[in-house]
């Protein structure tokens, strides 16, 4: 199931914690989606695709709820969506593997933007 469709299944302010570790590059999206028999297209490889997921995560996480994001940057969900960073961890995988940046955030205010 697509992550955006999955997130839409939850009621607003109903979740205490989210672990968010999506594929962040077009190559990762392509590999992941093709394994599931899903279509890879321009929409699923643009930054707006992840922005829509962040809107849904902000919608479903309660105030003071926690989101743990894994990726190649320290953006996390972000202040724009009502979160504050409380911890950042760099996970080194060794060799020629990319490190993973883990960001822990707390929801401190409701997102006032447009729900995707």
In angstroms, the CA 33 to CA 11 distance is 26
* Residue 30: per-residue pLDDT: 78
Mean pLDDT along residues 75-85: 94
* Residue 85: per-residue pLDDT: 96
* Residue 38: per-residue pLDDT: 77
Q: What is the 3-state secondary structure (H, E, C) of 87-108?
A: EEEEECCCCCCCCEEEEEEEEC
* Domains of the chain, earliest start first: 3-107 (3.40.50.150)
DSSP string for residues in 32-98: HHHHTT----SGGGSHHHHHHHHHHHHHHEEEEEEEEEEESSS--S-GGGTEEEEEEEEE---TTPP
pTM: 0.84
pLDDT in tens, 31-50: 877 887 877 776 655 667 78
């Amino acid at each position: 199931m697509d992550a955006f469709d999955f997130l839409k299944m939850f009621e607003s302010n109903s979740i205490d914690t989210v672990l968010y570790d999506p594929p962040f590059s077009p190559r990762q999206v392509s590999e992941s989606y093709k394994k599931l028999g899903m279509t890879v297209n321009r929409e699923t490889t643009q930054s707006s695709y992840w922005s829509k997921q962040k809107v849904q995560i902000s919608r479903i996480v309660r105030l003071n709820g926690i989101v743990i994001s894994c990726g190649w940057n320290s953006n996390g969900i972000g202040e724009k969506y009502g979160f504050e960073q409380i911890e950042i961890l760099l996970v080194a995988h060794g060799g020629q593997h990319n490190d993973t940046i883990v960001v822990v955030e707390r929801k401190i205010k409701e997102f006032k933007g447009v729900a995707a």
